[in-house]
Structure 1
Amino acid sequence: MPQESIAARIARYAIDLPAEDLPADVVACVRRRVVDSLACVLGAYDAPPVEAAVAVCRTVPVPASTVLGTRLQTTPDLAAFANGVMVRFLDYNDGYMAREPGHPSDSIPACLALAEARSLPGSELIAAVVVAYEVQMRLQDAANLNRRGWDHVNYVNVAVAAAAARLLGLDRTQAEHAINLALSGHVSMRQVRSGTLSDWKGCSAANAARNAVFAAQLASHGMTGPSPVFEGDAGFFAQISGPFELDVDSFGKSGERDFAITRSLTKTFPTNGELHTAVWASIRLKPRIPSPESIESILIETSEFNRRVLADPRKWRPTTRETADHSLPYNVVRALIDGDIDLDTYSAEKIGDTRALALMDRTTVEEDPDLTALFPRHLANRVTVTLASGDRIAEQVISGPGSVETPMSDSDFERKFRRMAAPHISAGAQDTVLEFVENLDEQSRYDDLFRAMERPAR
Structure 2
Amino acid sequence: MASHIPKSDAQAAPAPAQQYDNEIVDMAKYAHGYKVDSDLAIDTARWVFLDTLGCGLKALEFPHCAKLLGPVVPGTVVPNGSRVPGTPYVLDPINGAFNIGAMIRWLDFNDCWLAAEWGHPSDNMGAILAVADWVNRTNKAGTMKLANGKIFTVKDVLEGMVKAHEIQGVMALENSFNRVGLDHVVLVKVASTAVVSSMLGLSEAQTRDAISQAWADGQSLRSYRHAPNAMSRKSWAAGDACKKAVDLALKVMNGEGGMPSVLSAPTWGFYDVNFKSGKFAFQRPYGSYVMENVLFKVSYPAEFHSQTAIEAAQRINKKLAAMGKTAEDIEDVTNRTHEACIRIIDKQFKTMDNYADRDHCVQYMTAVMFVFNRLEASDYPDSSEAATSPLVADLHKRIKCVEDPQFTRDYHDPAKRTISNALTVRLKDGTTLEEEVVEAPLGHRLRREEAKPEILKKYIRHIEPHFPKQRVDELVELGNDPKKLYDMPVDDYVSLYATEKAP
Q: TM-score w.r.t. structure 2 length?
A: 0.84
User: 1:338 Cα deviation (Å)?
Assistant: 1.8
| Distance in 1 (alpha carbons) for counterparts of 2:42 and 2:166 | 13
1:239 to 264, 273, 279: 273
| SS state at 2:332 partner | strand
Greater CA drift, 9-18 or 101-110 = 9-18
Q: 1:456 Cα deviation (Å)?
A: 5.5
* Compared CA separation, residues 91 and 230, structure 1 to 2 (3 A): same
Report deviation, 1:448.
Answer: 4.2
Assess if the C-alpha contact under 8 Å between 1:121 and 1:442 holds in 2.
no
> What residue number does 2:458 align with?
416
Partner of 1:168: 200
Matching residue of 1:357: 393
Question: 1:436–1:287: structure 2 CA closer, same or farther, 3 Å change rule?
Answer: closer
Q: What's the counterpart of residue 488 of structure 2? A: 443
CA distance in 2, matches of 1:26, 1:435: 21
Q: Distance in 2 between matches of 1:247 and 1:172?
A: 24
1:383 corresponds to which residue?
Answer: 423
Larger radius of gyration: 2
Q: Among residues 52, 55, 67, which one is paired with 1:37 in the alignment?
A: 52
Please, which moves more after superposition, 392-401 or 165-174?
Answer: 392-401
Q: Which amino acid aligns with 1:102?
A: G
Q: What are the residue-to-residue correspondences of 1:59-208 with 2, within 5 Å? A: 59=74, 60-63=76-79, 64-119=81-136, 120-122=151-153, 123-195=155-227, 196-208=229-241
| Pairing 1:295–2:330 present | yes
Q: Is the 8 A contact 2:225 2:356 kept in 1?
A: no
Instruction: Please say if residues 5 and 228 of structure 1, whose CA atoms lie closer than 8 Å, have aligned partners that are also in contact.
Output: no
Q: Which residue of 2 aligns with 1:374?
A: 410
For 1:27 and 1:301, locate their aligned partners in 2 and report how far apart those are by CA, in whole Å: 36
Q: Tell me the CA shift for residue 168 of structure 1.
A: 0.6
Q: 1:452 and 2:497 equivalent?
A: yes
Question: SS state of the match for residue 222, structure 1?
Answer: coil
Give the letter for the 1:261 counterpart: M
- Decide whether the 8 Å contact of 1:80 with 1:109 is kept in 2: yes
Match of 2:441 in 1: 400
SS in 2 for 1:300: strand
For residues 440 and 180 of structure 1, do their structure 2 counterparts lie closer, same or farther at Cα, with a shift above 3 Å needed?
A: farther
Structure 1: 5+ residue stretches without partners: 253-257
Quickly say closer, same or farther: Cα 1:132–1:193, change in 2 above 3 A. same
Once the two structures are TM-superposed, the CA of residue 445 in structure 1 deviates from its matched residue by 4.3
Letter matched to residue 251 of structure 1:
Y
Q: C-alpha displacement at 1:110, in angstroms?
A: 1.1
Cα distance, 1:4 vs. partner?
5.5
Residue 2 of structure 1, CA deviation: 5.3
Count of aligned residue pairs for this structure pair: 449
Match of 1:255 in 2: none
Q: How does 1:262-277 map to 2 (within 5 A)?
A: 262-268=292-298, 269-277=300-308
Residue 425 (structure 1) aligned with residue 467 (structure 2): yes
| Structure 1 residue matching 2:341: 3-state secondary structure | helix
TM-fit CA distance, 1:457:
7.1
Seq. identity, %: 26
Out of 301, 305, 321, which is 2:340 matched to? 305
**AA matched with 2:107:** L
CA distance in 1, matches of 2:209, 2:477: 38
Q: Is the 8 A contact 1:425 1:456 kept in 2?
A: no
> Which digits, 9 at most, give the CA deviation of each residue in 1:47-67, with x for residues without a partner?
234323224445453121012
Q: Which residue of 1 aligns with 2:148?
A: none
Partner Cα distance (1:189, 1:91) in 2: 18
Contact persistence 1:277–1:380 (CA under 8 A)? yes
Segments of 5+ residues of structure 2 without an aligned counterpart are 1-17, 137-150
Give CA-to-partner distance per residue, 1:82-118, whole Å, 9 cap, x none: 1111100110000001110010000012101111111
Shift of 1:291: 1.7
Give 1:284's aligned residue: 315
Compared CA separation, residues 186 and 435, structure 1 to 2 (3 A): farther
8 A Cα contact 2:21 2:261, kept in partner: no
> Following the alignment from structure 2 to structure 1, what is the Cα–Cα distance between the partners of residues 126 and 314?
33
